[in-house]
Chains A and B, each alone.
Chain A
């Protein structure tokens, strides 16, 4: 790498994201997030600016800046809201798996239907997923989330199958990555029925977990 290259500040580390308690301010943040989803769906992350977000939301750009220091953090907030919820519902299934260890794979596979429903019902989640790839910073955020989901899953794998000969943490990561990837496909592929894709995912995960 050339010495000329500037080391850029991580936009997610810039302080300033202040989320409001008051009803009216919450409404403003909601407008900002909704406008951002619209803009992402129209033009992707590259053309997104704080000014455009303000215009679309019908509020002053200073108001946008008062909650978010930059567009990366608007996306981070959206992302945390949308995908943070999803993995919480997984915990219930993990408990069931521990209670019924002989059928743990079937229970896990059944949980995928809920996960998919959750994801598909969130407005803008496809555009948001695409945007994550737009900058290294946002991609790291995505990987952090996948890692966190895998961290929940791996101890369960270790408890249920202590004799697995491969690497359990890699196994857990692969499962989460595969699910995330096929969900992306279900949301972005125009030629294939999401349900057909989903059935292939189920087959894939089921076959993999049942044949250690």
Chain B
């Protein structure tokens, strides 16, 4: 590490985010989110700026700063919204699977179809996932997302298959990672038939969960 390298502040820790209660302000935040998705989709995270967000959203840049101190925190908020929405739905999916009569591995693998549909409906999911890799602070965010997914998965596996010899932690980790990347691929690559890819992914996951 060169000694003249400045120690940068972590942009995620800069205080200043005040999320609004009022309906009009909520609408402003929604506009900011939408504009951010558009911009990342078109140009990636690297060239995203608060000024561009405000221009695309059609609002004053001061308004953007009144809610978010920097672009990292805009993206962080967007991420939290999407993650929370998915978490609630997946918890319900898992509860349902545990109560079903079919083999849990089959039921889990099939539930990926619902997950894929949900990700399709979540605007910004694919571009955001990509943006997460763009800088160390966002990478942290991505890792935390994955940790949440892994933990959810691990609790589920501990319930349905507590005796897996290698431990459910590593199994949950590998599954979470592979599923996320394949679903992301189906969304972003136009030459990939998403339906067929999903069929193959279901097979892969089902066989993996049944192998010892």
* A146-185 near B? 1/0 per residue, CB < 8 Å: 0100000000000000000011001101100110111011
Please tell me which one of the listed residues A170, A180, A182, A192 contacts residue B200 in the complex, with CB atoms under 8 A apart: A170
Judge if A121 is at the interface, Cβ distance under 8 Å: no
Interface status of B67 (Cβ within 8 A of chain A)? no
What residue of chain B has the Cβ atom nearest to residue A203's Cβ?
B211
User: Which of chain B's residues 195-212 have a Cβ closer than 8 Å to chain A?
Assistant: 196-197, 199-201, 203-204, 207-208, 210-211
| B199–A2 touching, CB < 8 Å | no
Contacts of B203 in A (CB 8 A): 166, 208, 211
Q: Which residues of chain A have C-beta atoms less than 8 A from B170's C-beta?
A: 192, 196-197, 200
Interface string of A118-157 (1 = CB under 8 A from B): 0000000000001111111101000100010000000000
CA distance A173 to B185 in the complex (A): 10
Q: A42, A47, A189: which contacts B173 (Cβ < 8 A)?
A: A189
A182 touches B193 (CB 8 A): no
Residue of B nearest to A41 (CB): B1
Within 8 Å of chain B (Cβ to Cβ): is A207? yes
Q: Does B59 contact A (CB under 8 A)?
A: no
Complex contact B45–A174 (CB within 8 A): no
Q: Is the interface of A mostly helix, strand, loop or mixed?
A: helix
Interface size class of B (residues with CB under 8 A): 35 or more
Residue of A137, A147, A192, A200 most packed against chain B (CB within 10 A): A200
Which of A42, A131, A170, A204 lies in contact with B5, CB distance below 8 A? A42
Would you list which residues of chain B between 178 and 199 have a CB under 8 Å from chain A? 178, 181-182, 185, 188-189, 191-193, 196-197, 199
Contact A182 B43 (CB under 8 A): no
Q: Which of B8, B42, B173, B182 contacts A5 (CB 8 A)?
A: B42
Q: Decide if B38 touches A134 in the complex (CB within 8 Å).
A: no
Q: Which residues of B contact A170 (CB under 8 A)?
A: 192-193, 196-197, 199-200
A-B contact count (CB 8 A): 129
CB distance from A171 to the nearest CB of B (A): 6
Which B residues are in CB contact (< 8 Å) with A24? none
Q: How far is the CA of A74 from the CA of B184 in the complex (A)?
A: 26
- Is A199 a contact of B166 with CB atoms below 8 Å? yes
Report the nearest A residue to B42, measured CB to CB.
A5
Size category of the A interface is: 35 or more
* A13 on interface, CB distance cutoff 8 Å: no
Let me know if A134 and B182 touch, CB within 8 A: no
Contact B178 A1 (CB under 8 A): no
Minimum distance in angstroms from B1 CB to a CB of chain A: 6
Of all chain B residues, the one with the shortest Cβ separation from A201 is B174
* Min distance, Cβ B38 to any Cβ of chain A, angstroms: 6
Least Cβ distance of A165 to chain B in Å? 10
A166-B181 contact, Cβ under 8 Å, with A134-B134, A192-B173, A204-B174: no
> CB distance A182 to B177 under 8 Å?
yes
Instruction: Give Cα distance in the complex from A168 to B197, angstroms.
Output: 10
Measured CB to CB, the nearest residue on chain A to B193 is A170
In the complex, which of the residues A56, A147, A189 contacts B2, with contact meaning CB atoms closer than 8 Å?
A56
Besides the contacts A133-B130, A210-B207, what 17 more A-B pairs have beta carbons closer than 8 Å? A2-B38, A44-B134, A44-B136, A133-B132, A134-B44, A135-B46, A136-B43, A167-B199, A173-B197, A177-B185, A178-B181, A181-B182, A184-B177, A196-B166, A200-B170, A203-B208, A208-B208
Closest 9 CB pairs of A and B: A133-B133, A207-B207, A181-B181, A134-B134, A135-B44, A208-B204, A207-B211, A200-B174, A46-B135
Q: Which residues of B contact A (CB under 8 A)?
A: 1-2, 5, 8, 38, 42-46, 55-56, 130-136, 139, 166, 169-171, 173-174, 177-178, 181-182, 185, 188-189, 191-193, 196-197, 199-201, 203-204, 207-208, 210-211
A–B pairs, 23, beta carbons within 8 Å:
A4-B56, A42-B5, A43-B8, A44-B135, A46-B46, A136-B130, A137-B44, A139-B130, A166-B199, A166-B200, A167-B200, A170-B197, A171-B200, A173-B192, A178-B181, A192-B169, A192-B170, A196-B170, A197-B173, A200-B174, A204-B207, A207-B207, A208-B203
